[in-house]
């Protein structure tokens, strides 16, 4: 897991990574850090479920836009670090 996180961080800095992937991953991080949600947290169950659905969806979608060869290169570089 630690290696994958390093690889993803390297992939975000890589110039071969499409801007759309960077935007989607940035939105996921921003959604976690911002104090407001699309669905307020005070609503039972649904308020917390939006965080559990939206953030992973944005991350998976963003990672799918990163070319496989870029991720493989970044994984190799992460192993070297």
29-78 per-position pLDDT tens digit: 888 888 777 777 777 887 778 778 888 999 999 999 999 999 999 999 99
pLDDT higher than threshold 90 for residue 13: yes
In this structure, are 32 and 55 located in the same domain?
yes
In this structure, are 52 and 35 located in the same domain?
yes
Number of domains making up the chain: 2
pTM of the full structure: 0.78
- Collapse the DSSP code of 37 into the 3-class scheme (helix H, G, I; strand E, B; otherwise coil) and give the result: coil
Structural domain containing residue 72: 1-16+67-81
In this structure, are 40 and 71 located in the same domain?
no
With tokens 């836009």, the residue in question is 65
In this structure, are 58 and 35 located in the same domain?
yes
* Residue 32 pLDDT: 82
In this structure, are 31 and 54 located in the same domain?
yes
Cα–Cα nearest to 62, from 19, 31, 30: 19
In this structure, are 22 and 47 located in the same domain?
yes
Beta strands in the chain, from DSSP E residues, in sequence order: none
């Amino acid at each position: 897991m630690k290696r994958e996180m390093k690889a993803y961080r390297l992939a975000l800095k890589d110039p071969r990574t499409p801007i759309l992937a960077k935007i989607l991953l940035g939105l996921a991080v921003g959604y976690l850090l911002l104090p407001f949600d699309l669905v307020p947290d005070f609503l039972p169950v649904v308020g917390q479920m939006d965080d559990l659905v939206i953030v992973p969806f944005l991350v998976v979608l963003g990672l799918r836009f990163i070319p496989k060869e870029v991720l493989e290169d970044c994984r190799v570089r992460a192993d070297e670090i």
